[in-house]
Amino acid sequence: NAGVTQTPKFQVLKTGQSMTLQCAQDMNHEYMSWYRQDPGMGLRLIHYSVGAGITDQGEVPNGYNVSRSTTEDFPLRLLSAAPSQTSVYFCASTPRVMDTEAFFGQGTRLTVV
Amino acid sequence: DAKTTQPPSMDCAEGRAANLPCNHSTISGNEYVYWYRQIHSQGPQYIIHGLKNNETNEMASLIITEDRKSSTLILPHATLRDTAVYYCIAHGSSNTGKLIFGQGTTLQVKP
């Protein structure tokens, strides 16, 4: 199993550009979520999904869109990138089982200039 | 999910036990206490979790007070590779997969 795979690992965008951060998991986990981490801060929840076709907002959803058409994939879209979105982005997946941990990808480091 | 409070930083001598405290005074009866750590801005890594009994695995021990308002993560023999940010999270058993992180504790293990 590859676990949770995020692509790309690094990205530089110009203000106003759009892009999609990819997240894929091969563990058949029902739950997936996106976080951002700014320097010196803890992770903050952007969006999450409890299954294919179901998504919901987290703590900091503005400026980001998500969709979940398959169990495996949970892409995060930036429609018009802003410098305030410069951050490290983490994707996580969790099985729908009580009393179990989340599995995280290795992150995408995004810089918006 | 209940809010958790941790000290921002701690030091520990290599080979000694590292005891990381966490306060979760508003935790509800069905919320577990989870610990994760993050090394060098990598993705967070699960360490251990518990509900009300003390737990031990190959990485650490978790001591939860009887009233469940606080807990302590114990790394029994800290190494330099244990230098990381440690996060304590109180998470309900409904487990929708969303986690609310605090600032965590930066543990510096010194030679």
Report pLDDT digits (tens) over B86-109: 999 988 766 677 888 889 999 999
Give the pLDDT of residue B95. 62
Please check the confidence at residue A2 and state whether its pLDDT lies above 90: no
Is residue B89 within 8 Å of residue B101, measured between CB atoms?
yes
Residue A17 pLDDT exceeds 80: yes
Mean pLDDT across the stretch A20-49? Answer: 94
% pLDDT > 90, chain B? 75
Tell me what the mean pLDDT of segment A73-77 comes to.
Answer: 98
**A45 contacts in chain B (CB < 8 Å):** 98-100
d(CA A37, CA A87): 6
Chain A interface, mutation test: which of B42, B95, B101, most A Cβ atoms within 10 Å? B95
Q: What is the pLDDT of residues B25-53, one digit of tens each?
A: 988 888 899 999 999 889 999 999 999 98
With CA atoms as reference, the chain A residue closest to B103 would be A42
Residue A40 or A66, more confident: A66
| Residue B77: how many other CB atoms lie within 10 Å | 10
CA B54 to chain centre: 13
Nearest residue in chain A measured CA to CA from B102: A42
How many angstroms separate the CA atoms of A70 and A73, rounded?
Answer: 6
Cα B53 to Cα A49, B35, B63: the distances in Å are 31, 15, 8
